[in-house]
Amino acid sequence: MESSAPSRRLTRPVRLGQLVLGDGQPIRVQSMTNTDTRDVPATLSQIERLAAAGCEIVRLAVPDDQAAHALRAIRAGTCVPLVADIHFDHRLAVMAAEAGLDGLRINPGNIGGEQHVDTVVAAAKDKGLPIRIGVNSGSLEKHLLAKYGGPTPEALVESALGHVRMLEKRNFDQIKISLKSSSVPVTVAAYRLMSQRVDYPLHIGITEAGTLLRGAVKSSVGLGILLAEGIGDTLRVSLTHDPEAEMSVAWEILRSLSIRARGPEIISCPTCGRTEINLIGLAEEVEARLRHCDEVFTVAVMGCVVNGPGEAREADIGIAGGRNLGIVFRKGKVVRKIKGPDLMTGFMEEIEKFLEERQEE
């Protein structure tokens, strides 16, 4: 599916655990746990759920010493690449590096002076960790807010470049950058500017995007624009929701731009006056039953014979509704007609059969 994907802006490679970010490598999906990091079992359980849903990098908030002490046990319990998210306290960054985490998210300008920056950079170099500079419109430096009259794209970029310079001064170049705002236009403009200034990998996201629907729409618009322009090496969809939900949105964004695919693509019609089966229920149930499926294939769930069979034929497997029946197509051929009450079970049987037979091929 990558053939029609937007061409990527070239960034330098940055290693994060076993992954290489930037340099044309796959755009990685990440999220952040919302458990109490000090609660090791709960955090590990959420990390595993996130990974099962397609999360490739997990960030953990490390607000205090107790959370930092828990990192060693968390590290021992999972192979998923882990990034420690730290504000202000350089000691926590050193503890995270010593606990074996794969990366740090910390802004060197906010950790209390040059000496502390030296300490964090030395720890990151020693353990081979990258540092993500994460600038957020809600926590911009006062002098930049005054200079630019608010959290403008230019202010975000200038803030991030200030942090970058502190690392470069110490010959540290394993840097990733994020510039997040809850405004889509501001975020997009900031990343565009930054991508002209540096070639470090960019982690993209719309921060505080909102609840499930609104956040998904805002993230899709913002990240979609950036990705279509080739900007972004890792991404996060931030939702006021269970972080697992972020995965489906992130992967749908990547799929819709033909960048990467994970799991089935479900094409379904909007229904209209011609629909004679419970199409909405059927499409939702198919989606729910395939939620944990990693196989990449296309399923069409269509309401009628007007457009239905056409779409269903294009899909790997599809169903088109008729009068209280469904016609199942597989690779363009009718394979079964299912009566109304058995539509769901019959169609799922056909999907499972398709997947089994494909594995045998």
- Binding string, 298-337, against ligand SF4, x = CB under 6 A? ----xxx-xxx-----------------------------
Of the pair 104, 304, the CB lying nearest ligand SF4 is at 304
List the interface residues with ligand SF4, window 144-173 (CB under 6 A). Answer: none
Of the pair 120, 304, the CB lying nearest ligand SF4 is at 304
Is 55 labeled as ligand-binding?
no
Contact 68, 47 (CB under 8 A): no
Shortest distance in whole angstroms from residue 131 CB to ligand SF4: 50
User: Of the listed pieces 38-46, 47-55, 102-110, 266-274, which binds ligand SF4 according to CB under 6 A?
Assistant: 266-274
Of the pair 102, 311, the CB lying nearest ligand SF4 is at 311
Shortest distance in whole angstroms from residue 287 CB to ligand SF4: 16
Shortest distance in whole angstroms from residue 281 CB to ligand SF4: 14
Is 269 labeled as ligand-binding?
yes
- Binding string, 17-56, against ligand SF4, x = CB under 6 A? ----------------------------------------
Is 79 labeled as ligand-binding?
no
Structure tokens given for 296:
């990449």
Residue choice 34, 110, 248, 275 for contact with ligand SF4 (CB under 6 A): 275
Of the pair 271, 298, the CB lying nearest ligand SF4 is at 271
Question: Which position's Cβ is nearest ligand SF4?
Answer: 303
Task: Kindly report the three-state secondary structure assignment for every residue of the chain.
Answer: CHHHCCCCCCCCCEEECCEEECCCCCCEEEEECCCCCCCHHHHHHHHHHHHHCCCCEEEEECCCHHHHHHHHHHHHCCCCCEEEECCCCHHHHHHHHHCCCCEEECCHHHCCCHHHHHHHHHHHHHHCCCEEEEEEHHHCCHHHHHHHCCCCHHHHHHHHHHHHHHHHCCCCCCEEEEEECCCHHHHHHHHHHHHHHCCCCEEEEECCCCCHHHHHHHHHHHHHHHHHCCCCCEEEECCCCCHHHHHHHHHHHHHHCCCCCCCCEEEECCCCCCCCCCHHHHHHHHHHHCCCCCCCCEEEEECCCCCHHHHHHHCCEEEEEECCEEEEEECCEEEEEEEHHHHHHHHHHHHHHHHHHHHHC
User: Of the listed pieces 13-21, 100-108, 212-220, 264-272, which binds ligand SF4 according to CB under 6 A?
Assistant: 264-272
Residue choice 254, 269, 328, 351 for contact with ligand SF4 (CB under 6 A): 269
Give the residues lining the site for ligand SF4 (CB under 6 A): 269-272, 274-275, 302-304, 306-308
Q: Binding site for [4Fe-4S] cluster: what residues are annotated?
A: 269, 272, 304, 311
Binding-site annotation: residue ranges:
269, 272, 304, 311
